[in-house]
């Protein structure tokens, strides 16, 4: 999820889809319907941290 957030923020169009990855999420969601919200929260924090580091180095954004 973090990679999806980063791609969206940086304007990168992802071209790879992983059916096994999505399938594993379906299994998790069947057992815990709130897991997606916890995962999204953690992924958002991770993406924010990566973006903060990228803008701190050299004063340029990664997308520049």
User: What's the DSSP call for residue 31?
Assistant: H
Whole-angstrom Cα distance, residue 14 to residue 3? 9
From first to last of its 64 residues, what are the pLDDT tens digits of the chain? 788 888 888 898 877 766 777 788 889 999 998 998 999 999 999 999 989 987 765 545 545 4
Q: Are 14 and 1 in contact (CB under 8 A)?
A: no
Cα 45 versus chain centre, distance: 9
pLDDT at 64: 46
Question: Tokens representing 42?
Answer: 């953690």
pTM: 0.62
pLDDT at 18: 65
Q: Where are the domains of the chain?
A: 2-11+18-56
pLDDT at 57: 58
Alpha helices in 1-64 (DSSP H): 2-10, 19-31, 35-56
pLDDT at 38: 94
């Amino acid at each position: 999820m973090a990679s999806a957030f980063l791609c969206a923020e940086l304007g990168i169009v992802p071209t790879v889809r992983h059916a096994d990855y999505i399938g594993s999420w379906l299994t998790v969601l069947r057992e815990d319907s709130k897991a997606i919200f916890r995962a999204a929260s953690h992924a958002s924090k991770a993406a924010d941290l990566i973006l903060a580091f990228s803008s701190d180095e050299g004063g340029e954004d990664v997308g520049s």
